[in-house]
Amino acid sequence: MPISSRSFTDSASFDCHWQCTECGFQVATWVTETGRDSYRTQPDERPLDRRPAPACEGCGATGTWANLREGGVVEALIVQDESRQSTRGARRSGLVKLVSLAVWVGVGALTFDNIAAWMMLPLMGGTAAVMLHSAYAEFVSGRRARFANSWSHEPVPRGRVRARLEGRVGADERLRAPLSGRVCVGYEIGVRHDIDTDADPWSWTLLEQRSAAGLSIDGVAVSGRPYLRLERKIYAQELSAGALDELRKRGLDPSRPGYSLFETIVEAGELVTVERRRTGIALCTGTH
Ligand SMILES: [Zn+2]
């Protein structure tokens, strides 16, 4: 029997993440770390269907949260992901339109002293307006394309390196990697339709990073949450029931074929490098 994305309508019986419908940013209602207290669930309230109140960390939009517990939401997400995969080529068309607009204007300028060109002017103006509008639409959808279909991580830090710290990593808490269940102080999981780990963020179905609270390097506290720059590794083991649930929480139907899964962890005591740049910090394993 063929598996169809249209057939996935089951709602999960457990708490799932929420996803911003604008930018794909995901938040788990159980996240309670410092600075994200606003997501803390009230003890007298079932967290299951409690919509997060704060604005999305990813794009600043409010009231855009969709509950990934709903089968219909997951189904819509799968369709959205697949349509993004099929419009890879279309992303370049924005540039093509701008270039053709420039050529159009150039040709117009050359023939401007010709009387026939004056008669063409309204037509040229109309065409230019249509081209500009579609280029603008491409630009807007391009902003969305900076992120994976579903994502949760710190922004990639930009600017030159201002400080660098190397040493063994520690943390105040321990995390569990979602797929393998390994104990760690940081992890990245990724899901995509091929194994091109260096591909642009938007081509990912899911990209999620988490680092433990109270990170330190050789006992020196790291302020702020780092973006994790780790070597992506394919997760080829058979998925446990727990791992299947973790994928489902993130709006993925684990029974669908064709997904490649990635999981990389940072273990406590591992040798890492932390770099501070103008807009944030990045952590990578090893020394540089
Ligand atoms: Zn958002």
Enclosing domain of residue 191: 5-86+146-285
Same domain, 104 and 247: no
Same domain, 10 and 26: yes
Same domain, 140 and 244: no
Kindly give the distance from the C-alpha atom of residue 31 to the centroid of ligand 1, in angstroms, as a whole number: 17
Same domain, 137 and 115: yes
Kindly give the distance from the C-alpha atom of residue 28 to the centroid of ligand 1, in angstroms, as a whole number: 14
- The residue among 114, 144, 174 that closes a domain is 144
pLDDT in tens, 102-158: 777 777 676 666 666 667 777 777 777 777 766 666 565 555 567 899 999 999 999
161: number of CA atoms within 13 Å, CB side?
9
262: number of CA atoms within 13 Å, CB side?
22
Euclidean distance between CA atoms 30 and 41, whole angstroms? 7
Euclidean distance between CA atoms 28 and 16, whole angstroms? 7
Provide the number of structural domains found in the chain: 2
Kindly give the distance from the C-alpha atom of residue 184 to the centroid of ligand 1, in angstroms, as a whole number: 28
Same domain, 186 and 222: yes
Kindly give the distance from the C-alpha atom of residue 78 to the centroid of ligand 1, in angstroms, as a whole number: 18
Same domain, 185 and 212: yes
Same domain, 107 and 50: no
Kindly give the distance from the C-alpha atom of residue 55 to the centroid of ligand 1, in angstroms, as a whole number: 8
Judged against a pLDDT cut of 70, whether residue 4 lies above it is answered with: no
Kindly give the distance from the C-alpha atom of residue 177 to the centroid of ligand 1, in angstroms, as a whole number: 24
Same domain, 34 and 117: no
pTM: 0.75
Kindly give the distance from the C-alpha atom of residue 239 to the centroid of ligand 1, in angstroms, as a whole number: 29
Average pLDDT over residues 21-39: 65
